Amino acid sequence: MGLKTELKTLVDELDRVHKGAMPWTEEVGIPDFVTAENGLQRYFTQNARKMLGKLSNTFYQNREESSAKVEIEVYERFVKQAVADMHAADEFLGLDCDDSENLRSRLKGLIEERLEKVANKYTHYFPAWTLGMERKSPFSLGPVTIMTRADWIDMVDFPQQGKDQYLNQPDANHRWREILKNALKRPKDNSPIEGLANAVYGAVSKCPALVKVTICGYERQFSRKLARLVCKTALDSISLGLGAPECFLQQALQDERLPPVGSNSLIETNGFLWLPGSVLGGRVPSLSPARVEQALTDLNEILPAFEAILEGLVDPGNHRHPKLVNRWATALDWFGEGNREASDAIALAKLGTCLDVLCCGGKNTGIRDMVVHLTGTDGETQVIQGLRPRTLKQLVKDIYDHGRSQILHGTHYDRLESFSVERKQAAYLARIVLIESALRLQSYDGPDDEKAFRTI
C-alpha cells in the first residue's frame, strides 16, 4: 500500500466517523480523541489508528537524514496531531483531486516544522555515583562533564518568572541554592524544605555527583535517551581504563540496576540462632582521591580515544566512523554489565557477548581472529599457566563456546557450577581488546564497516 492510499484510507475513516456514521458499539476501550488547533475534536477508531501507524511508518522511513531526530512512537503522535488539525480544518477535501500530492507535502511539512521547533539543544544532568574525580573541580571527558552537587547547584538556575511565582514562595525560591545546600548537609533532618529547593532535593539527594552532556538536534525524549547512553559510556570508559571490576559498581548512574551496598546473613544450627553476620559489597569506595587522580593521570594516552568515541556518539554526523563508534560503545555496555553482574555464569555470558558485539558475529573463529589481530599474540601461544594451561585459541573457545553459548542455550543449568575463573579470564581479555580497539579507531581511516574491528 503506497503513501497516497494510506492517507486516503485514513481520511476516509475519519470522514466516516465524523459524519455520524460511527458504530460506537464496535469500539472497545477509552475513546481516542485529539483536539485540533481550531478547538474541534477528532476521534481515531481502531481502524484509523492502524492506518495512522502505517502512514507514520512510511513518512518516518522516508525522512531526510538532516531531519530532527525522533523515535517512531513520538513521531506518530506528531503525525496524529497534524492529521487531526488538517482534517478539522477541512484541508483534505482535495484529496481525491489532482491536489493530493500537495496535501501530502503539506502534511509532511507541517510534521517536520513542528518537530524542528521541539528539537532544541538540551543539556541533561544525571545523578551518579563516581570514584570522586570531580571533588577538586569538574572533570571532563570529551562532551561529558562530571561535577559535584555543589558545583552543579552553583552552575544552574531557574528562570526569573519561576522564582517569582512557584508555589507563591518567592523568598524561598530566590534562595533555593542556599536552602538546598543546607538540606543536603542534613540528610536525616525531617524539617520541611521550602520552594524550588524542595522540588530539586529529591532528584539529587541520593548521589554525590552529576554527569552532564548537551545534545543537539533531537526531540526531547530521544535526546534524553541518547544523553543517558553517552553518560553511561563515559563512566564505564573510565572504569574500563582503571581496570578493577569493582569500579563498575562504584561508578554508575542513579537509575542503574545495582546490588546493595552490603548484605546480612542469618544462620541457625542445632536449634539455636547465630549472631547475624554482615558483609560489605563492591559498591563501597576503595580508592582514595589521590589514587584516583594518579590513575587518571596514568590514563592520559587512553582517555583521548574514549573522548573521540563519546564525541562520535553525541554528533555522529561529524565522525568518520559512527557505526564503529556505536558498536564499540555497545560492546562496552555489555562489558560493564558483565562486571556488575552478581552471577558468575551470567557475567561470563555477558562478557562473551561483549566480544561478539565488537567482532560483529563470527562466533568463536571470528572472535579468535579479532583477538589475535588486536593483541598481536599468536593463537597457539600459551596464555594461561597452571593446572589447566590454555593457548589463546583455546581460551577464546572456552569463553565463547563453553561459556557464552552453552550458558545461554541451557547446556549449563546447574547454578552451583563455578565460573569464577572463566569470568576473570574473560574480563581480562575483553578489557585488553576494548582498549586496543578504541586506540586504533582514533587513527583508522578505512571504511565504516561493521566487521572492521577484526582487521583495524
Radius of gyration, CA atoms only, the chain? 28
- Give the model's pLDDT for residue 440: 97
Q: Which of 118, 141, 160 is the last residue of a domain?
A: 118
**424 and 358 belong to one structural domain:** yes
3-state secondary structure the chain: CCHHHHHHHHHHHHHHHHHHHCCHHHCCCCCCEEECCCCCEEECCHHHHHHHHHHHHHHHHCCCCCCCECCHHHHHHHHHHHHHHHHHCCCCCCCCCCCHHHHHHHHHHHHHHHHHHHCCCEEEEEEEECCCCCCCCCEEECCEEEEEHHHHHHHCCCCHHHHHHHHHCHHHHHCHHHHHHHHHHCCCCCCCCCHHHHHHHHHHCCCCEEEEEEECCECHHHHHHHHHHHHHHHHHHHHHHHCCCCHHHHCEECCCCCCCCEEEECCEECCEECCCEEEECCCCCCCCHHHHHHHHHHCCCCHHHHHHHHHHHHCHHHCCCHHHHHHHHHHHHHHHHHHHCCCHHHHHHHHHHHHHHHHCCCHHHHHHHHHHHHHCCCCCCEEECCCCCEEHHHHHHHHHHHHHHHHHCCCCCCCCCCCHHHHHHHHHHHHHHHHHHHHHHHHCCCCCCCCHHHCC
Please, which residues bridge with residue 269 across strands? 272
pLDDT tens series, the chain, 456 aa: 688 899 999 999 999 888 876 666 667 777 889 999 999 999 999 999 999 999 999 999 999 988 999 999 999 999 999 999 999 999 998 787 767 888 999 999 999 999 999 998 999 999 999 999 999 999 999 999 999 999 999 999 999 999 999 999 999 999 999 999 999 999 888 889 999 999 999 999 999 999 999 999 999 999 999 999 999 999 999 999 999 999 999 999 999 989 899 899 999 999 999 999 999 888 988 888 889 999 999 999 999 999 999 999 999 999 999 999 999 999 999 999 999 999 999 999 999 999 999 999 888 999 999 999 999 999 999 999 988 899 999 999 999 888 888 888 888 888 888 899 999 999 999 999 999 999 999 999 999 999 999 999
pTM for the full predicted model: 0.92
State the amino acid at position 402 in one-letter form: H
**109 and 133 belong to one structural domain:** no
- Give the model's pLDDT for residue 22: 61
**327 and 214 belong to one structural domain:** no
What's the total number of domains in the chain? 3
**132 and 257 belong to one structural domain:** yes
CA angle (397, 398, 403) in 5-degree steps = 115
For residues 45 and 62, give the distance between their C-alpha atoms in angstroms, rounded to a whole number.
26
Domain that holds residue 376: 320-456
**303 and 335 belong to one structural domain:** no
Ramachandran region, residue 195 (left: φ > 0; alpha: ψ -120 to 50; beta: rest): left
Burial of 194 (0-12, 13-18, 19+ CB in 10 A): middle
**197 and 298 belong to one structural domain:** yes
- Give the model's pLDDT for residue 71: 97
**324 and 289 belong to one structural domain:** no
**111 and 191 belong to one structural domain:** no
- Give the model's pLDDT for residue 25: 64
Q: Which of 92, 118, 144 is the last residue of a domain?
A: 118
Q: Is residue 87 part of a domain?
A: yes
Q: Is residue 74 part of a domain?
A: yes
For residues 353 and 367, give the distance between their C-alpha atoms in angstroms, rounded to a whole number.
10
Q: Are 419 and 398 in contact (CB under 8 A)?
A: no
Q: Is residue 456 part of a domain?
A: yes
Q: Is residue 186 part of a domain?
A: yes
- Give the model's pLDDT for residue 161: 96
In order of 19, 222, 423, 448, the CA distances from 52 in angstroms are: 19, 21, 48, 35
- Give the model's pLDDT for residue 1: 63
**427 and 404 belong to one structural domain:** yes
State the amino acid at position 182 in one-letter form: N
Torsions phi, psi for 430 (to 5 deg): -65, -35
**152 and 245 belong to one structural domain:** yes
**454 and 348 belong to one structural domain:** yes
Q: Is residue 169 part of a domain?
A: yes
CA angle (159, 160, 163) in 5-degree steps = 90
Q: Is residue 41 part of a domain?
A: yes
Q: Are 235 and 251 in contact (CB under 8 A)?
A: yes
Q: Is residue 274 part of a domain?
A: no
Q: Is residue 313 part of a domain?
A: no
Q: Which residues contact 184 (CB under 8 A, 6 or more apart)?
A: 149, 201, 204, 205
Q: Which of 79, 99, 118 is the last residue of a domain?
A: 118
**389 and 441 belong to one structural domain:** yes
